[in-house]
Chains A and B, each alone.
Chain A
Amino acid sequence: MAQHRTRRDSSLVSHVFRFRRDFCAGGLMILFGLVAAVNGPHYRVGTLNHMGPGFMPTALGILLILLGMAIAGTASVGTTQGEADDNGNLLPDHPQWFAWLCILAGPFCFVIFGSIGGMAPATFACVFVSALGDREATWKSSLILAAGITIFGVLLFHYLLQIPMPVLEWKSPIQAWGL
């Protein structure tokens, strides 16, 4: 009996593991739904006749939790929901950790250098850092690309389109973020 039980458990575990993409997808939706549904009642739900600001967040949050459960629950019905090219794997075949980091670091550098140094350093840093993520990129090619885009970007956005962002300035971080 006990043996039978464990076998069924392990099959359930392996089932969850096999369809972990859909379980994670459902779980993420439940998480988002919980955030909305838990915060909603703080804003006064009101009645149907006279709804408060909290009605919609609560209702949509509960709906999203139900949908999340449905996604996780029906994981077994169709083997692949959505565009599963690599059955249920969460990571792609060749994870590009370094490239992803570079892509996210690019805009981050834009924020940092844009706040303390203006448009030119921000553009240069953003393009340079993100360009390093490609597997064929070299220091030199990234530098050239970054320099070219910086000149082009400053001409286009500062002089032609007049975006109110100084080209070059120096604000100490204390000034920029009030640290």
Chain B
Amino acid sequence: METALQDLYYGFTVAIEPHNLMYCFLGVLIGNMVGVLPGMGPLATISILLPLTFGIKPVGAILMLSGIFYGSQYGGAICSILLNLPCHPPHAVTCLDGFPMTKKGKGGVALGITVIGSFIGASWGITEMMFLAPILVTIALKFGPAEVCSLMLLGLLAGSTLARGSPIKGVAMTVLGLIFGLVGSDLETGAERLTFGFPELDDGIELVALALGLFGIGEFMNSVNQSAPINTKYSHVKLKDMRPSWAEFKWAFPAMIRGTIVGSLCSLIPGTGPTIASFVAYATEKKVAKNPQDFGFGEIRGVAAPEAATHSSVQGDFIPTMSLGIPGDAVMALLLGALMIQGIVPGPQLIKEHPDIFWGLIASFWIGNILLVVLNVPLIGIWVKMLMIPYRYLYPSALFFVCIGVYAANNDMFQVGEVIVIGILGYVLLRLGFQPAPILLGFVLGPRFEENFRRALLISRGDMLTFVEKPISAFFLALCVILIGAQVYFRLRGAKKDKAAAVIDQSLSSHHLQQAE
């Protein structure tokens, strides 16, 4: 407890350094901005800015890139509440009660409650990280290659089967990502693999090109000329409207706490990111409420719970990423990739070897979240204006940022070509019902998985049983089996739609209904 506070103090001394503070501020500001913009996600933004951070120190780089991620979560709710556009998946469920509130002229209150709920959720997530991550690390430091391998397998399986869409397609995407990770020179022997004679591919597929192909160009192709006309009839919010009354706050507060708990539970299971957390929180809230009939018609608790859950899960997502080096979703994979480009090996030794990164990051979370609360209130007018930028101006500009970002990664035009090819692939995969996010997970973890797998079998002299004989490794493998078993069981029982999925369907159908009005 005391050491954690001491370390946190040290973290603050790192985060408060002027240039780190500036990167943190820039990160949350840019994040907040792209979070508001429909059609731009944190994934694409982080990938575009990633090459620009190569020149700065690792601490500043990671503070800024994480700032973009949690900053964008603050912006995403604005789009849902004021425009009824579920353009950012974690906030799609906020449309259900947020937009009816806006229609009743209470959009400002909904935004205010969102900001408060977000801060409560995020605070809990950060506190959890402060105390839980060091404990996880002391356990994880005892892991040998076999244990690391099984843990990675569990992370990959959870990341691919628990996310949206069909589990088997998710696993296929992960394997495809692992194969993409093999391209280039082999770590041990230097043999060129799957380069098809392109010397430019010797160093492997560029992470930035992969991410921007899948989540930039692929997404643009998916959403061009698809956007419905934006309804800005209700989106005039004044600053003084944002303060909820005491009664409203008191009514929403228990929902925020419940949302926070749901979010932090979801973040502990790898693969269940903020999107699932917010849907589960909404479903739970509706279930425990005495007035379930009010949900969907502007119930303030239906806004507070999912928003708190999103933020507590966003911060909690950093726990396995930073303490074990196992990312839970694509954004975390990208951040780990950023660390590796800076020459920092992710894993349990990170806290010890780079305390400035770990504790500086936690301190910057506190600073960043307070900044976001302060920023969001006066800037709300500007964000609302930004919502009205039409997509036809947005995507050509974003395409240019994609090109220059990929070029800046290595000053290599070949990689801009790479991004075109991967973009086509990304769109085809989307059309075939795949979710491309697990590709990034597999891609980032792939080389480390292979290294540990080889090492584990070298130690055991080629005996595959080593993975089962070591108790910790066997435990992780058992979890993998349970995970797959549960998926198969629910599939065979025909219980395809769990509660969260039902809410998703409901939210999408009600969204279409309201657009038709």
Chain A positions within 8 Å of B, measured between CB atoms, are 21-22, 24-25, 28-29, 32, 35-36, 39, 43-44, 47-57, 60-61, 63-64, 67-68, 70-71, 74, 77-78, 80-84, 90-92, 94, 96, 99-100, 103-104, 106-108, 110-111, 114-115, 119, 122-123, 126-128, 130-131, 133-137, 141-142, 145-146, 149, 153, 157, 161, 163-165
Contact = CB atoms under 8 A, between A and B. Distances in A.
B188 A53 contact: yes
B386 interface: no
B457 A61 contact: no
- 5 nearest A-B residue pairs (beta carbon): A82-B433, A49-B462, A134-B392, A53-B186, A48-B462
Contacts of A94: 225
B132 interface: no
Nearest to A28: B432
Contacts of B463: 48
Contacts of A123: 400, 404
Given A24-B432, A107-B403, A145-B393, A56 B168 contact: no
Contacts of A130: 395-396, 399
B179 A57 contact: yes
Interface in B441-488: 450, 453-454, 457-458, 461-464
Contact of B396 (A61, A68, A74, A106): A106
Contacts of B166: 71, 78, 81-82
Contacts of B193: 39, 43, 53-54, 57
| Main secondary structure on A side of the interface with B | helix
Interface residues of B, number: 66
A146 B491 CA distance: 50
A156 B431 CA distance: 35
A96 B424 CA distance: 14
Contacts of B450: 56
A165 B423 contact: no
A80 B433 CA distance: 9
Contacts of A163: 404, 407-408, 411
Among A43, A107, A161, find the residue whose CB has the most chain B CB atoms closer than 10 A. A107
A48 B179 contact: no
A43 B435 contact: no
B293 interface: no
12 contacts: A56-B450, A70-B168, A78-B491, A82-B166, A83-B165, A92-B431, A99-B224, A106-B399, A107-B403, A119-B404, A127-B397, A145-B393
A71 B52 CA distance: 40
Interface in B365-420: 390-393, 395-397, 399-400, 402-404, 407-408, 411, 413, 416-417, 419-420
A32 B253 CA distance: 51
A43 B191 contact: yes
Given A49-B461, A131-B392, A134-B391, A64 B176 contact: yes
Nearest to A135: B225
A39 B183 CA distance: 11
Given A71-B172, A94-B225, A145 B396 contact: yes
B103 interface: no
Given A53-B193, A56-B182, A131-B392, A104 B420 contact: yes
Contacts of B217: 103-104, 107
Contacts of B225: 94, 96, 99, 133-135
